[in-house]
Amino acid sequence: MKFTSRPTAVVLGLTLAAAALAGCSEEASGGGGTDGGSEASACAPEDVTLVGQVRNESNPYEASWLDGGDAFAEQMGLEQQRLTYDGDSTKQQEQITQLLAGNTDCLVMNILPNGDSDTLPIVEGAQEAGAFLVTQWNKPSDVNVEDYSQWLSHITYDGVDSGQQIGDALAEAIGGSGGIIALQGILDTGAAKDRFAGLEASLEANPEVELLDQQTANFSRDEALAVTKTLLTKHGDKVKGIWAANDDMALGALAALEQAGRTDVAVVGIDAVPDALTAIEDGTMTATVSSDGPWQGGIGLAIGYCVATGELSVDDIAAEDRAWFAEQFLITADNVADFSAPAVDEADFACDNVFSRSQGAIS
């Protein structure tokens, strides 16, 4: 597959990127966490095991995450183990437990915790087993990545900002006034909480926009279809816009609108999945925000690989890079063409460049 990234990214040769990643030192990687983990010799590149885990592949964004992991693995001459847990926290923990019961000396895991409360058991398991862990999106605010030597980094996005950006885009699309409904994500996730807080900030800035109703659809297209049908029946022609906390729900809302014969409702989402970009191009959807799923799938593995092979030491990772916001992009009809076929920037995955998209530490 081809990595997707910023539209102005520089295209670099695969051989150069692989050479930069494979230039491993013989220094120890890790050590000194809450469990006083012992130091271990750097792994040979061919001994590294790469694992990516998301909720499901029916979500195009999460499928693109795993595709990005596959592309990184292929670049390094390895394979990624693709795991999905269907949004079931118990299943996720069981999969992690099975992984950590095996050979963990050179195990690199790039994990999407199902919810904030699922993160700590994964972290503690990796710390005890000596696996190299990167998490994304969800973690409790009172858990500090720097307290662990095997939890290398946590990556997320400023959900308040993205939620407000699409809220403002929605307000503009409906002329600055009118009723909207909101489809929330999985409520026990930082992403859902922050994005809805962003919508609330947008509503404060656009006082003539009224939130008629809000319900969770758990980031699911099918649930969003059902919830939107119910809310359209309840509120009728008062609904002028639909704010969705991700694109999958936005696409479910678009399906409900089509079934209802409504073409007068603006819809916004987050993730920049291909179907959403197509909907923006054809005018049925107003806006989305890109977090670049393929980049996420590759970057978590790249950070873990660089530490496992000794190219990076966890002790040398700056404090602001242990838990950080990554770059994101608002996409509307004005710039959607730039994101439909963006250029490749394999330099993002070189060991001296893995934190290049950082927008600052999570406060």
Span 264-282, average pLDDT? 96
Same domain, 256 and 314: no
Same domain, 55 and 175: no
Q: How does residue 189 score in pLDDT terms, banded at 50, 70 and 90? A: confident
Same domain, 69 and 213: no
Higher-confidence position of 165 and 40? 165
Span 88-114, average pLDDT? 97
Higher-confidence position of 29 and 360? 360
How many CB atoms are located within 10 Å of the residue 22 CB? 16
Interatomic CA distance for residues 193 and 362, integer angstroms = 15
Q: How does residue 32 score in pLDDT terms, banded at 50, 70 and 90? A: very low
Under a CB-based contact definition with an 8 Å cutoff, are residues 223 and 251 in contact? no
Comparing CA positions, the residue from 38, 32, 55 lying closest to residue 111 is: 55
Interatomic CA distance for residues 250 and 224, integer angstroms = 7
Same domain, 190 and 102: no
Under a CB-based contact definition with an 8 Å cutoff, are residues 159 and 198 in contact? yes
Query: Mind listing the pLDDT tens digit for each residue in 202-226?
Result: 999 999 999 999 999 999 999 999 9
Domain boundary among 260, 290, 320: 290
Same domain, 210 and 144: no
Same domain, 60 and 148: yes
- Inform me whether the pLDDT recorded for 325 exceeds 90: yes
Query: Mind listing the pLDDT tens digit for each residue in 61-71?
Result: 899 899 999 99
Domain boundary among 266, 290, 314: 290
Higher-confidence position of 14 and 275? 275
Under a CB-based contact definition with an 8 Å cutoff, are residues 24 and 309 in contact? yes
Same domain, 71 and 87: yes
| DSSP helix/strand/coil, 4 | coil
Query: Does residue 38 sit within a domain?
Result: no
For residue 108, what are the domain limits? Answer: 49-157+292-328+341-361
Query: Does residue 349 sit within a domain?
Result: yes
pLDDT score of 338: 86
Same domain, 181 and 229: yes
Higher-confidence position of 175 and 28? 175
Query: Does residue 21 sit within a domain?
Result: no
Same domain, 259 and 320: no
Same domain, 206 and 152: no
pLDDT score of 250: 98
Query: Does residue 86 sit within a domain?
Result: yes
- Inform me whether the pLDDT recorded for 19 exceeds 60: no
Same domain, 296 and 148: yes
Query: Does residue 9 sit within a domain?
Result: no
Query: Does residue 27 sit within a domain?
Result: no
DSSP per-residue string spanning 293-305: HHHHHHHHHHHHH
pLDDT score of 339: 86
- Inform me whether the pLDDT recorded for 96 exceeds 90: yes
pLDDT score of 41: 77
Query: Mind listing the pLDDT tens digit for each residue in 128-152?
Result: 999 999 999 999 999 999 999 999 9
- Inform me whether the pLDDT recorded for 185 exceeds 60: yes
Q: List the structure tokens of 4.
A: 């997707």
Comparing CA positions, the residue from 309, 315, 307, 328 lying closest to residue 155 is: 328
Query: Does residue 4 sit within a domain?
Result: no
Query: Mind listing the pLDDT tens digit for each residue in 236-262?
Result: 999 999 999 999 999 999 999 999 999
Query: Does residue 318 sit within a domain?
Result: yes
- CATH number for the domain including 249? 3.40.50.2300
Mean pLDDT (the chain, rounded): 89
Number of domains in the chain: 2
Same domain, 106 and 188: no
pTM above 0.85, yes or no: no
Burial class (CB in 10 A: 0-12, 13-18, 19+), 195: buried
pLDDT score of 18: 44
